[in-house]
Structure 1
Amino acid sequence: MISNFFLPISGGQTSIRPYWRCYFPNTQAIIYVVDSSDTDRIGIAKEEFHAILEEDELKGAIVLIFANKQDLPGALDAAAVTDALELHKLKNRQWAIFKTCAVKGEGIFEGMDWLSNTLKAGGG
């Protein structure tokens, strides 16, 4: 069974975070969406991201990161999001980052294609 896990990082989500564990069993992939224009909270996004990766049931999951809101002025590019999230620390799992603009549909299909191909190849 393949289940995708999407973690929105936005205000007001703190109260439902304990319920995320309900989705951990059998998860092969994590889809993590980052608001690239919210530079004030990128540190919080990093902390949440690394905390979720430490969960035992998610140790083998591959990671797809969407660096969203690329259409907004001042948005961090994929390299800057990679640095901010410290993705270079992910040594024992497959991951990829894609620049996206959800309102325009840009980058989403490319990321999902990577995820699908990686899962088919036995990456998760």
Structure 2
Amino acid sequence: MGNHLSDMALCFRRVHVVLVGLDCSGKTSLLYQLKLKEFVQTVQTKSFNTERVRLSVGGASSSRRVDFQLWDVGGREKLRPLWRSYTRRTDGLLFVVDASEPERMDEARVELRRITGSAHNHGVPVLVLANKQDAPAALGVAQVEKLLGVHELSAHTPRHVHGCSAVDGRGLQTGLETLHHMILKRRKMMKTKR
């Protein structure tokens, strides 16, 4: 019994998350900002990157360490059909958009609907990161949420839109804490259904 409880506790401290979004939205820079706590100038991802990132989540009195296994998948148009392969059995999705490129929001909207509408992603929590908030002309969170039609996603898809910056790390910690909370809530709900 003790080992089972220990395994369950570890299960709640490890999460598998996939970063998807259009090319040049900053997914890889976000990944390395989380991993190294610094901005890394990157080149366009041709396939995928993966890193384990350990973060403290929760308030000061209830803080605990969580391992995020983050998969950063290229966003070029020809790579997008592969997203489904990476999102099978994932705990959460990070959908990254470049908030300084309003002209690409329609394209991002289509891809967000496609990935969340996939049968194997039914109910998987989604954190939409409105990246590049450090850019002077970046759209605000409410604008991004509206342009992406986040409110139109399935009621079974827990979601949250959060502003961030891969350059200075602003918003990443609280965004991931929100995603972790949604993942835990879903796991507990699925456990009670068994």
TM-score scaled by length of structure 1: 0.90
**Cα shift readout 1:51-104 (whole Å, capped 9, x = no counterpart):** 111111001101101111111122110000010011111322211111101110
Identical amino acids, percent of aligned pairs: 30
The one of 129, 137, 143 equivalent to 1:80 is 143
Give me the whole-angstrom Cα distance separating, in 1, the residues matched to 2:151 and 2:95. 16
Tell me whether 1:20 sits opposite 2:20 in the alignment: no
Give me the whole-angstrom Cα distance separating, in 1, the residues matched to 2:117 and 2:186. 21
* Gaps in structure 1 of 5+ consecutive residues: none
TM-score scaled by length of structure 2: 0.59
Tell me if structure 2 keeps the 8 A contact 1:4–1:28: yes
How big is the alpha-carbon RMSD for the aligned residues of Structure 1 and Structure 2?
Answer: 1.8
* Gaps in structure 2 of 5+ consecutive residues: 1-10, 25-74
The one of 30, 33, 37 equivalent to 2:96 is 33
The one of 11, 14, 21 equivalent to 1:8 is 21
Deviation at 1:121, TM superposition (A): 2.7
Q: How many residues align?
A: 124
**Which contiguous aligned blocks of 4+ residues in structure 1 show a shift greater than 3 angstroms?**
none
The one of 105, 113, 126 equivalent to 1:42 is 105
The within-5 A match list for 1:38-77 is 38-77=101-140
Give me the whole-angstrom Cα distance separating, in 1, the residues matched to 2:182 and 2:21. 23
* Structure of higher CA gyration radius: 2
